Structure 1
Amino acid sequence: MTYKLLYVTAETEDEAKAIGRSLVEARLVACANVIAGMTPIFRWKGRVQEGSEAILIAKTRADLVPAATRLIVEAHAYDLPCVVALPIEPGHQPFLDWIGTETGDPI
């Protein structure tokens, strides 16, 4: 089985927590971690901007990434949310097995 780490940015810590909880409850991810207080510097609509965001990191199976991405995009406040999947390899096999056990068929 192949596993992925989802990296998502959110406008607020509360938004990241709500999305993370929805993903876990839907069994689309085994675990979601929220890190508050990130400062993004980015170009948007021709201007360099700076803001405040939270990071959501979630662990899932590769086959669940499309369904998880759909849920995130639908729940997200941004017009263009950052949702990227990174490979988890190699890893501690008992932890990877746990990800497989705690995730189910997409809703």
Structure 2
Amino acid sequence: MADPSDPNDVPDPTGRQARFLTVMTTIDSEAKAGRLARGAIEGRLAACAQIGAPVTSVFRWDNAVETSQEWQVLFKTAEARYEALEAYLLDAHDYDTPEIIATPVTRGGAGYLSWVTKETS
């Protein structure tokens, strides 16, 4: 049974307590970021995707230090949809090893989290 005092205790459609994640990836163009975001939303893999302004990434790849401009895409999703979202990103992404990082949502507005549950069901 959901605890109305706990803003993260939102039942999913099966009645289980839902958990939520933010999932981030980066990609090398704004257009590609938009396609990743739209595909995830259309597939109900995430309720929302935000595309951040370009960031400069510095990293080691093939024994060289690289610098590139990338766009961050931050997805808001139910934990139950993570595996499907990760599979989609691995398939749709054109990097050999795309960054896919999931962070648990430890607190959130009950109305928003209910919306995330609805939109990812």
**Contact 1:11–1:78 (Cα < 8 Å) also in 2:** no
1:15 is aligned to 32
1:58 is aligned to 75
2:100 is aligned to 83
> Match for 1:67 among 74, 78, 84?
84
Give the fraction of aligned pairs with identical amino acids, expressed as a percent: 31
User: What CA distance in whole angstroms lies between the structure 2 residues aligned with 1:64 and 1:9?
Assistant: 19
1:28 is aligned to 45
TM-score, length-normalised on structure 2?
0.83
Q: 1:10-47: CA deviations, max 9, x gaps?
A: 11111111011000000110000001311000011111
Higher normalized strand content (fraction of residues): 1
TM-score, length-normalised on structure 1?
0.94
2:54 is aligned to 37
Gaps of 5+ in 1: none
List structure 1 segments (4+ residues) > 4 angstroms apart after TM superposition.
none
Higher normalized helix content (fraction of residues): 1
- Aligned residue pairs total 104
RMSD of aligned Cα (Å) = 0.7
Secondary structure, aligned partner of 2:45: coil
**Contact 1:11–1:77 (Cα < 8 Å) also in 2:** no
Gaps of 5+ in 2: 1-17
